[in-house]
Chains A and B, each alone.
Chain A
Amino acid sequence: MRDIRWPRACLVLALVACGNDSVPRISVGPTGARRLSRNEYDNTLRDLLLDESRSGFVKLPEDVLDPFDNDFTTQQPSGILVEAAETLAFEASARLMADPAKRDQVIGCTPTGAGDTDCLRSFVATFGRRALRRPLTTDEIDQYVAFSSMSVEANDFYVGAGMVIAALLQDPEFLYRIERGTPVVGRKGLYKLNDYELGTRLAYFIWGSTPDNDLLDAAEHNALRTPEQLRAAAERLLADPRARARIDRFHAMWLGYYKLPHSPELTASMRTETQKLIERVVFEEGRPWADLFTSTETYIDAQLAQLYGMPTPAGGAGWVTYSGPGNRAGMLSTGAFLSVAGKFGDTSPTQRGKLIRERLMCQTVPPPPPNVNVDQPPQGTTMSTCKVDRYAQHRADGSCYGCHNQMDPVGFGLENFDQTGAWRATDNDDASCVISGEGQLYGLADDPVVFQGPAQLGSILIESGVLENCLVTQLYRFAMGHREQRQDAAMIDALATSFTQSRKLDELMLELVTADAFTYRQEEN
Chain B
Amino acid sequence: MRGLERQVGRRRFWLALALMLMLQALLAVALFFLQPDSRPAAVFTAYRYWLFSAWMLLSAALVIVWLVLDRLLFVPLAAVTRGAETMAGPYPGHLLEVRRGHWLGDLPRAVTGLGSALEAARDGRDEAFAGGDPTDHKMALERLLNHLPAGIIVADGEGRILLYNEAARHVLRDQPALGLGREVAEVLAERPLRSALLRRRRGRGPPDQSTGTSFVCATADASRLLQCRLILLDEGEGARYVVTLEDRGMPTPERMGHERRMREAVDALRAPLAGLCAASTAAEAAGDEPTAEARFRHIVNEEAVRLVQRFKVLAGEAEALLAADWRLADVHSGDLVAGVLAQEPDDLPKVTMGDEGEWLRGEGYLLERLLANLLRRLRAELKVAQVRVDAALYGPRVYLDLCWLGRAVPPAQLAGWLESPVEDTGGNTHLGEILERHDAALWSRIHPRRPQEAMLRLPLPAAERDRSTVSLPPRPAFYDFRIGERVATASEEAGQSLSDLDCVVFDTETTGLEPSQGDEIVSIGAIRVTGGRPIHGEVFDTLVNPGRPIPEASRRFHGIDDEHVRDAPDITTTLRRFRAFVGDAVLVAHSAAFDMRFLELKERRSGVRFDRPVLDTLLLSMLVYDHSGDHSLEAIAGRLGVPVTGRHTALGDAVTTAEIFVRLLPLLRGRGIRRLEQADAACRRLAAYRMQQRAF
Q: Are the chains A and B members of one assembly?
A: no
Give the B-binding residues of A (Cβ under 8 A): none
